[in-house]
């Protein structure tokens, strides 16, 4: 897999400086899961949009 520091070759840092970091785990820890049902009404979408906007106020 690929780490933030480069090609980790299975989390080994033998070829790169720094520590091996699991990029997938890092993205999961910092990620945001949003509802994405294709049956959501416009009102439900507006509610989600409003909540997300409030996160950045």
Has residue 41 got a pLDDT over 80? yes
Burial of 21 (0-12, 13-18, 19+ CB in 10 A): middle
For the entire predicted model, the pTM comes to: 0.48
**How many domains are contained in the chain?**
1
- 54 vs 2, higher pLDDT: 54
Q: How far apart are CA 17 and CA 35, in angstroms?
A: 39
User: Is residue 27 within 8 Å of residue 48, measured between CB atoms?
Assistant: no
pLDDT at residue 43 is higher than 70: yes
Distance CA 28, CA 15 (A): 26
Q: Which helix (H) or strand (E) holds 51?
A: helix 42-55
């Amino acid at each position: 897999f690929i780490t933030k520091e480069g090609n980790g070759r299975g989390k080994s840092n033998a070829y790169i400086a720094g520590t091996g970091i699991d990029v997938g785990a890092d993205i999961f820890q910092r990620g945001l899961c949003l509802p994405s049902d294709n049956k959501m009404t416009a009102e439900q979408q507006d509610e989600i949009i409003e909540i997300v906007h409030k996160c950045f106020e």
